[in-house]
Amino acid sequence: MTPKRGGVLHLAQPSEIRSLDPAIAFDSFSIPVVHLLFRGLLDYDNATGLVLDQAKDWNISSDGKIYTFHLRSGVRFANGREVEAEDYVFAFERILNPQTGSPGETYFLGILGAREFVDGKAPHVIGLRAPDKTTLVIELKEPQFTFRYVLAMTFACPVPREVVQQYGTEFQSHLVGTGPYRLAEWRRGISCRLQRNTYYQGPDGFVDGVEIMIGCDDTVMTMMLERGEIDQVPLASPAQAARFKRDPGLRSWLTLVDAAETDYFFMNTEMKPFDDAQVRQAVNFAIDRERLLKLAGGFATVAHGPVPPVIPWSNPGLPRYDFNPEKARALLREAGFPSGFKTELWYSGDQPIFARLAEGVQQDLRQVGIQAELRPANFTAFDAKVTTRHQVPCGIWGWFQDYPDPSDFLDVLLNGERITENECNNTAFYNNPEVNRYLDAAAKNLDPGERTRLFRQAENLIMQDAPWAPLIHEQIPVLYHPRVHGTEPHPVWLWRYEHMWLDP
């Protein structure tokens, strides 16, 4: 069908849009909306391939350190002012400025001079240059393959310096970007209305406007969808999704988005008894992942490794831990725990899926003699506890990709060189120097084939050492009214409002 222009897309979200400022927004509800207002140098095709967006060409120097972009001519902000390369320099420095409080700061620290700028030792980032109005040069300290993905994140969108300086922290109420839509009205915590940006010249944006109602629970959103009051229910609960899946009249309303995420059971390799690899392997054999799928409402796939299959990645030699309680008991006996042991299993009680997984894992572990006492906590308490060294023996957590590359899981979550005393994402505190070497080499290597080899070697070692028991990769159930088209799921953006169009 040929997409048609016109109409207003009515959306609803369960919680407040935290921010629509591209330097700040970083949650799954805000980012698809930010992508309507702001666009940058690169975007994704229908999968995980990078395509040019507001740049007309780009090249990376042979040493992998210098990225040069030439901007398309005639690209304008929603206030009519033409975008210049300096706007990108300003936007990147704004993210690096600690005063901004951007959660994206770490992604830009690979730029030459970024650390000095963050520490207040330099007024500008020397690795960011705009030799003329349409040329942007970014120089990195050392080669970093994944930096190209950073440039496709919404953090990397240009913002007009004069508007940011005029409004300061209030910029987020006066947003001006280069996307297909502009902010018409934002009643914080209540509703948000976007209108077409008449200066946008790209191919996206079929509907004339987007209206977002904020603060509806899942049940209300589903009723509103069925009554035709809204067009989408993002992240429907498994119970609602199951109802739509069962009902032949409603089945076509349901879309499952394979999320690039992994829910996993981590074991603190610095704490007894999980400092013993045989114990960790025993846990891996003890868990019935097929049963966990049922506990997840059927909207998930089994995880055999840390990296989700949505990322273009395969590792045929990956050691697998199929459900085998006998083998688990034997390994426990060998490790000196013939009667099992007692431990505490921590999880965030705010997320129902983690509660169900925790109960499932607890039951499986009990079958092999491991008595795991459940320790639910609210997310902030859980987060503070599990990211601090020597605090939590084991627990359940999930990680959602920032960009579609194995390093976002293996390097960020399992590289021992990233271990810190507090706020450590390596919650297993797993440190294998050989794995670290592979991961460090892959980070700097620019050859995709060689990177794949390095990541496979690292992942194989990780699974042998078993600091995690990978559990499931979630699928996100999304409901759409039949009048909406262009709802194909996307592995990075999840859904793309700019591609959606409505029946007349």
Partner 1 sequence: MLNRLLTRLFWSAVTLLATSVLTFFLVNAVPGDVARSIAGAKASPEVLQQVREKYHLNDPVLVRLGHYLVQLARGDLGHSFVTDQSVSEAILTRFPTTAALCVTGLILWMLAAVPLGVLMAKFRGSWFDRTMLVAATLSLSLPAFWLARMLQYWLAFRLGWFPVAGFRSFAHLLLPAATLAIISGGYYALLIQANMMEVLNAPCIAAARAKGLSETAILFRHALRNALIPVVTVLGTDVAALLGGVIFTENVFALPGIGTLAVQSVFNLDVPMIMGTVLFSATLVVSVNLVVDLLYQWIDPRIKADY
Q: What are phi and psi of 187, to 5 degrees?
A: -95, 105
139 binds partner 1 (CB under 8 A): no
227 binds partner 1 (CB under 8 A): yes
* Binds partner 1 (CB under 8 A): choice among 52, 250, 381, 419: 381
DSSP 16: -
Location of structure tokens 């300086």: 165
- Tell me, residue by residue from 91 to 130, as one string, x for binding to partner 1 by CB under 8 A and - for no binding: -------xx-xxx-xx--x--------x------------
Q: How far is CA 498 from CA 13, 87, 230, in A?
A: 17, 23, 17
82 binds partner 1 (CB under 8 A): no
Stretch that binds partner 1, among 12-20, 44-52, 266-274, 457-465 (CB under 8 A): 12-20
Location of structure tokens 């697998």: 320
Stretch that binds partner 1, among 183-191, 195-203, 315-323, 331-339 (CB under 8 A): 183-191
Location of structure tokens 């994140």: 153
The letter for the amino acid at 485 is H
Taking only Cα atoms into account, the Rg of the chain, rounded to an integer number of angstroms, comes to 24
Closest by Cα among 69, 57, 6 to 209: 6
* Binds partner 1 (CB under 8 A): choice among 69, 285, 382, 429: 382
User: CB–CB of 390/297 below 8 Å?
Assistant: no
Angle between helices 325-334 and 277-286 (to 10 degrees): 160
The rounded distance, in Å, linking the Cα atoms of 471 and 262 is: 7
218 binds partner 1 (CB under 8 A): no
19 binds partner 1 (CB under 8 A): yes
CB of 105 to partner 1, least distance (A): 5
CB of 100 to partner 1, least distance (A): 8
Which alpha helices (H) appear in 368-406, and where do they start and end? 379-386
The rounded distance, in Å, linking the Cα atoms of 124 and 131 is: 15
249 binds partner 1 (CB under 8 A): no
31 binds partner 1 (CB under 8 A): no
The rounded distance, in Å, linking the Cα atoms of 123 and 228 is: 53
172 binds partner 1 (CB under 8 A): yes
Cβ atoms within 10 A of the Cβ of 189, count? 11
- Tell me, residue by residue from 393 to 422, as one string, x for binding to partner 1 by CB under 8 A and - for no binding: ---------x--------------------
* Binds partner 1 (CB under 8 A): choice among 3, 6, 131, 189: 189
* Binds partner 1 (CB under 8 A): choice among 383, 389, 485, 490: 383
- Tell me, residue by residue from 420 to 459, as one string, x for binding to partner 1 by CB under 8 A and - for no binding: ---x-x----------------------------------
Cβ atoms within 10 A of the Cβ of 276, count? 18
Stretch that binds partner 1, among 8-16, 83-91, 129-137, 324-332 (CB under 8 A): 8-16
- What is the distance, to the nearest Å, from the Cα of residue 138 to the centroid of all Cα atoms in its chain? 24
Identify the H or E element spanning 484: strand 484-485
Residues near partner 1, by CB under 8 A: 12, 15-19, 26-27, 98-99, 101-103, 105-106, 109, 118, 169, 172, 187-191, 213-217, 219-220, 223-224, 226-227, 229, 377-384, 387, 402, 423, 425
